Amino acid sequence: MYTEKVMDHFTNPRNVGEIENANGVGEVGNAKCGDIMRIYLDVEGDVIKDVKFKTFGCGAAVATSSMVTEMVKGKTLDEALEISNAAVAEALGGLPPAKMHCSNLAADALHAAIKDYHEKQGKKE
Amino acid sequence: MRRVYLDHSATTPVDPEVAALMMTYYTEKYGNPSSVHSFGREAKQALEEARRQVAELIGAEPSEVTFTSGGTEADNLAILGTAEALSKKGKHIITSAVEHHAVLETCEYLEKNGFDLTVVPVDEEGIVSVESVKKAIRPDTILITMMHANNEVGAIQPVAEIGKLAKEHGIVFHVDAVQSFGKIPIDVKAMAIDLLTISSHKIYGPKGVGALYIRKGVRVAPRIYGGGQEKKRRSGTENTPGIIGFGKACELASQRMAEDAQHLSKLRDKLMNGIVETIDYVKINGPLGDKRLPNNVNVSIQFVEGESLLLSLDMLGIAASSGSACTSGSLDPSHVLLAMGLVHEIAHGSLRFTLGRQNTEEDIDYVLEQLPKIVERLRMMSPLYDQAVHAKQAQ
């Protein structure tokens, strides 16, 4: 039901964990629906220097989280904001139709983390 | 890689003795049981022998057994057939919140078409109270449909008491016994059952075969019309090899039931206790001891999600199932676990192991060796686990 790429990211997820003193953190989903994704960003200047995630959820939820962190590492914030949930799914070689809505939220978590970063920066200024 | 099959409530392997017997009826004795010639007669004779074997396992007369294409069809025949036969008498049906979809969806279809449905709740172990069924009975109640044992948590319902109640009120009593049949004793007379659904592929018989016991004198309108087979209750040429395999599987089940139950409950308890001992934040779902099917283990493992557990187990050759939304095909987790009062997040992390005749102590050891590692890996990824650990440390 899952592509090899999804299974690879599920089995060997990239960038799992937390970033101490992350300057942007985003969380989407809820335990009730069975998926929570949290993304930590270390942004320097305009560039995502480091990114990590923690996810509670199914295989697709873990794989999309892992994939999105790989896609944005080293990218500028503007570039990162252009990544959509659909693009993450595509990069994984597709997801089963049922998973496209419920477990494909990794880009949303990323965008929430960038929003959090901007808000924190705004307060500092 | 070691492969351990622990999903016997989904389906079982066909016993080699059963498969060998069936093969004869595909390639040699392939006659149509309705035919007059010797080919037909030998098929008919074997078909009737199978009917006798099935009837014997539930304490029924052979003439009271109607073969179907499986449990789902038998449930549909029982519920829709009773509704049609008795709709002039009344339109109220009672069922429980933890029924299989084959019963629930059929009852809901009737509800959309002019019938009244009362769904009685279960307690935290998944068991229906006789009292709540009693309270739900109305003068226009025509049918009570209740499962014998639950497919997800193995809870055994008080069917004999409910049967007695139904009998006192002149209400037809249907029992879906797909999960209990062949595992624990069933006596349709002692349990006052009017209609009983059973299935072959859960008891080491072939898929695509089941039966509905219809007590003599109980009226059930057919769902399938045609050549009038099965005393006009279920038309269509009989699946002779399948039915004969089902009969043989019943005979084997009757011989092995006591031994199987002892073996399975020992493995079940070893697995349940082992999980509780090796993993923290776990909850056993369903009752313990005699109120539980001998082959069912159901646990919720907090802070991890069921499908992730299944995928991880599968990569190690272990086959199980889960009540998480991801495996139910909907956005909600198992209706059974929710009816037992579990919150969504705990239900999402449920894992069901259903044991079978071929499982060994070594199989259980293997699961107990691998599962804690899987849980640890997934919890390391889970934001919920952090929160729980921090909250505990803060106390």
Q: Which one of B225, B253, B281 terminates a domain? A: B253
Specify the residue for token string 């929710």: B338
| H helix and E strand count, chain A | 6, 3
Q: Which one of B232, B253, B274 terminates a domain? A: B253
* CA angle (B156 as vertex; B154, B157 as ends), nearest 5: 135
Chain A residues lying within 8 Å of B311, measured CB to CB: 2, 7, 10, 59
B248 and B275, same domain (yes or no): no
B232 and B299, same domain (yes or no): no
pLDDT of B336 > 70? The answer is yes
pLDDT digits (tens, 9 = 90+) for B338-354: 999 999 989 999 999 99
* CA angle (B3 as vertex; B208, B362 as ends), nearest 5: 115
**Nearest Cβ partner for B381 among A16, A27, A34:** A16
pLDDT class of B331 with cuts at 50, 70, 90: low
- Alpha helices, DSSP H, located in B319-360: 325-328, 335-339, 344-348
Domain locations in chain A as residue ranges: 4-119
* CA angle (B116 as vertex; B113, B118 as ends), nearest 5: 135
How much is the average pLDDT of B228-242? 97
Residues constituting chain A: 125
Question: Residue A74's pLDDT is what?
Answer: 96
Question: Residue B114's pLDDT is what?
Answer: 97
CATH topology of domain A4-119: Sufe protein. Chain: A (3.90.1010)
Total domain count for chain B? Answer: 2
- Distance between CA B181 and CA B384 in Å, rounded? 40
Low-confidence ranges of chain A (pLDDT < 70): 125
B48 and B193, same domain (yes or no): yes
Pairwise CB contact (< 8 Å): A55 & B381: yes
Identify the weakest region by mean pLDDT among A79-83, B128-132, B386-390. B386-390
Question: Residue A14's pLDDT is what?
Answer: 97
- Distance between CA A66 and CA B14 in Å, rounded? 41
B186 and B92, same domain (yes or no): yes
| H helix and E strand count, chain B | 13, 12
B112 and B226, same domain (yes or no): yes
pLDDT digits (tens, 9 = 90+) for B56-111: 999 999 999 999 999 999 999 999 999 999 999 999 999 999 999 999 999 999 99
Residues in Cβ contact with B367 at an 8 Å cutoff, skipping those fewer than 6 apart: B4, B6, B271, B274, B313, B318, B353
B306 and B206, same domain (yes or no): no
Specify the residue for token string 């059963």: B18
**Contact B311/A at CB under 8 A:** yes
**Contact A10/B at CB under 8 A:** yes
- Report the predicted TM-score, pTM, of the whole model to 2 decimal places: 0.95
Q: What percent of chain B has pLDDT over 70?
A: 98
Question: Is B145 within 8 Å of B166 (Cβ atoms)?
Answer: no
Mutate to test the interface with B, among A14, A56, A100, A103 (most CBs of B within 10 A): A56
Q: What is the complex's ipTM, to 2 decimals?
A: 0.94
Question: Residue B388's pLDDT is what?
Answer: 83
Residue B363: closest CA among B304, B308, B305, B295: B295
How much is the average pLDDT of B13-30? 98
B210 and B344, same domain (yes or no): no
B290 and B370, same domain (yes or no): yes
Our answer to whether residue B326 is catalytic in this structure is yes
Q: Which one of B253, B287, B321 terminates a domain? A: B253
Which one-letter DSSP state was computed for residue B119? E
Residue B177: closest CA among B169, B165, B168, B186: B186
CATH number of B82's domain: 3.40.640.10
Pairwise CB contact (< 8 Å): A34 & B324: yes
Task: Count A/B contacts: CB-CB distance under 8 Å.
Answer: 70
List the domain range (segments joined by +) for residue B53. Answer: 16-253
Pairwise CB contact (< 8 Å): B383 & A59: no
Question: Is B285 within 8 Å of B300 (Cβ atoms)?
Answer: yes
Question: Is B96 within 8 Å of B146 (Cβ atoms)?
Answer: yes
Chain B residues lying within 8 Å of A61, measured CB to CB: 305, 308
**Contact B379/A at CB under 8 A:** no
Pairwise CB contact (< 8 Å): B384 & A56: yes
**Nearest Cβ partner for B315 among A11, A13, A35:** A11
CATH number of B303's domain: 3.90.1150.10
pLDDT class of B225 with cuts at 50, 70, 90: very high
B146 and B264, same domain (yes or no): no
Strands (E), B10-89: 65-68
